[in-house]
Amino acid sequence: MISNEQHDRMANAIRFLAMDAVEKANSGHPGLPMGAADIATVLFTKYMKFDPKNPNWPDRDRFVLSAGHGSMLLYALLYLTGYPDMTIEDIKQFRQLGSKTAGHPEFGHATGIETTTGPLGQGIANAVGMAIAERKLEQEFGSDLQDHYTYALCGDGCLMEGISHEAIALAGHLKLNKLVLFWDNNSITIDGAVSLSDSTDQIARFKAVHWNTIEVDGHDQKAISDAIEAAHKSDRPTFIACKTVIGFGAPNKAGTHKVHGSPLGAEEIAATRKALNWESEAFDTPADVLDAWRSAGERSVQARKAWEARLSATDETKKAEFTRRFAGQLPAGFDKAIDDYKKKLAEKPPTIATRKASEDALEVINGFLPETLGGSADLTPSNNTKTSQMTSITPTDFGGRYMHWGIREHGMAAAMNGITLHGGLIPYSGGFMIFSDYCRPSIRLAALMGIRVIHVLTHDSIGVGEDGPTHEPVEHMAALRAIPNLLMFRPADAVETAECWQLALEDGKRPSGLALTRQNLAPARTTYSEENLCAKGAYELIAADDAKVSIFASGSEVEIAVKAAADLKAKGIAARVVSVPCFELFEDQPEDYKTTVIGTAPVKIAAEAAVRQGWDRFIGSDGAFVGMHSFGASGPAKDLFKHFGITSDAIVAAAEAKLS
């Protein structure tokens, strides 16, 4: 252990970088970095296994700053420990447009930022996902290749958010003993004292969900060190409650909400420099302190080299598989496996629900991709997400490939983000589409980060039927399509479902959602096509010369559109049908393709058992829409579609009205 004097100087380097950066930006949260600096100094100088020169080393320890508003703590650590892409100039550009040092940590802006945090509680759940991934991959590849810890730092806000309970309850159940959560217990929130709004006994809470709990003085380096040592010996995840003073060192503002989210001001910073005996100017770290931090950044180089030697000595097949999976690459032959499956579907097109079509596609996918990790929020029989290759993961056996997330949609979605960020696995979940509301913050962050997670969202419309309007998503496709960088698929049959799964898996930079039916659908694609037509987002399913009507539809309404086109043809009205499985991929296409698909028919109609929002892109503001204009109702699905006017007859009537 370093001397108390050296520890204090190293911790103060974090404090002054944080307060100076916030002051220069005239924006930010200096209180947490100042209060948690001692925790971070002990962790990064003695326990964290990381190498700034090889920041993506697969067996590194992960550090998640769940309390993302304290971002300067992380940025200071990255700079001080020697990450090449975090310079003092980056620190000076804190919160400025285009800088790596955004107001909250953003994955991809700089190495060492393991996840995007900001919405409180997300980081806790991300860390749980990372710990799940480590345990799963250790079981699969052995401790020679995967044997590391996940550390996270949270604040009171993280623990108040409901997602935290979903995450910690699951972690305790799974006995994720390589997960260590530090609580910056400073008793302050933006409004003032925590006691204004909360009196939870957090120690009792964590004990109740089977965590190891430890309470320490968050400014005592030995106590912090002893707690981490104890955590490493635990058979459960560990919660270390660190009693700290927010804004530690600031003579007049420490311990108050005034230092939470505002610059200290020049006068208070000067007083803090005097109080902590820090003579250096702003952004200037004394050479001996910086040298000590850089030495800490090199502490794990030998461990990294030893790991590389173990990887090199690993059986070639196993080594190649491990390397491929951490590179995020799918195995050779995946396209052929999907293509062969499509040929089988063309031979005998099935009339099945797309949730069942998804299960059938997953049977092929999971047989070919060992890295898929399936799961469901307690809806496995309804989501059809568990295939024959998958056994359940349990607290004592991580050899399986299927997670029972429990009724924890928000925690599930955030933990999936952590699994993907860890590397080596591709998670997919199962849930009802209506409950995507519970997943939405995590889905949004996945899109913001540009990571591959896949959400199976079944029971996608009023086709849910008897469960009624509480379970019938009408606005959810529009709401999810509104999230930038998210691919939302709504396939019309088994072939489209297979193609959409292929696209979701092959896109390593975007999350995906698959909206799937409960009710059976007639096949839309009855002939084999080598080309993945869904890759274009929208394509002409039924052509018509000199078409007077273009009908655009997705999912279950493609079947209705096809019948309407036939009925119009019988009336002497030429109609074409365009299947629209993915708005976002359609927008990726060249302008000439989009123009051709939208076509020149004078009448354009869209059909979807959802609200109209978004469809004007295809039909214009003067086009007709056959869909939902209200919430749903309880009753058999066929009765509901008729009741709400989502039928082929309604499409025909709309076309005739427009043509008259």
- For residue 99, name the pLDDT band (cuts at 50, 70, 90): very high
Reduced to 3 states, what is the DSSP secondary structure of residue 87? coil
Does 633 have pLDDT greater than 90?
yes
Q: Which of 140, 268, 371, 409 is catalytic?
A: 409
CA distances from 30 to 98, 224, 489, 557, 660 (A): 21, 22, 43, 54, 68
pLDDT digits (tens, 9 = 90+) for 505-518: 999 999 999 999 99
Mean pLDDT across the stretch 545-561? Answer: 98
Residues 6+ apart with CB under 8 A from 201: none
Pair 62, 150: CB distance under 8 Å: yes
Handedness of CA 100, 104, 105, 106 (dihedral sign): negative
Does 8 have pLDDT greater than 80?
yes
Q: Is 620 exposed, middle or buried (0-12, 13-18, 19+ CB in 10 A)?
A: exposed
Beta bridge partners of residue 579, listed in sequence order: 539, 553
Does 271 have pLDDT greater than 90?
yes
Residue 199 has what pLDDT? 98
Does 172 have pLDDT greater than 90?
yes
Residue 330: DSSP 8-state: P
Q: What is the mean pLDDT of the chain?
A: 98
pLDDT digits (tens, 9 = 90+) for 280-314: 999 999 999 999 999 999 999 999 999 999 999 99
Residue 177 has what pLDDT? 98
- For residue 1, name the pLDDT band (cuts at 50, 70, 90): confident
Does 471 have pLDDT greater than 90?
yes
Helical ranges in 390-453 per DSSP H:
409-422, 436-449
Residue with tokens 């590849």: 141
Return d(Cα 317, Cα 21) in angstroms, integer: 48
CA distances from 439 to 105, 434, 436, 482, 516 (A): 21, 10, 5, 15, 16
Residue 44: DSSP 8-state: I
Return d(Cα 325, Cα 318) in angstroms, integer: 11
- Measured in whole angstroms, the distance separating CA 231 from the mean position of its chain's CA atoms is 27
Does 571 have pLDDT greater than 90?
yes
Return d(Cα 572, Cα 206) in angstroms, integer: 70
Does 520 have pLDDT greater than 80?
yes
Does 640 have pLDDT greater than 90?
yes
Q: Are strands 603-608 and 188-189 parallel, antiparallel or unpaired?
A: unpaired
pLDDT digits (tens, 9 = 90+) for 47-79: 999 999 999 999 999 999 999 999 999 999 999
DSSP 276-297: TT--SPTT---HHHHHHHHHHH
Handedness of CA 533, 538, 540, 542 (dihedral sign): positive
Active-site residue, 496 included: no
Reduced to 3 states, what is the DSSP secondary structure of residue 660? coil
Q: How many residues in the chain?
A: 660
Helical ranges in 299-368 per DSSP H:
301-313, 316-327, 334-347, 354-368
pLDDT digits (tens, 9 = 90+) for 522-537: 999 999 999 999 999 9
Residue 211 has what pLDDT? 99
Residue 327 has what pLDDT? 98
Q: What is the pTM of this model?
A: 0.98
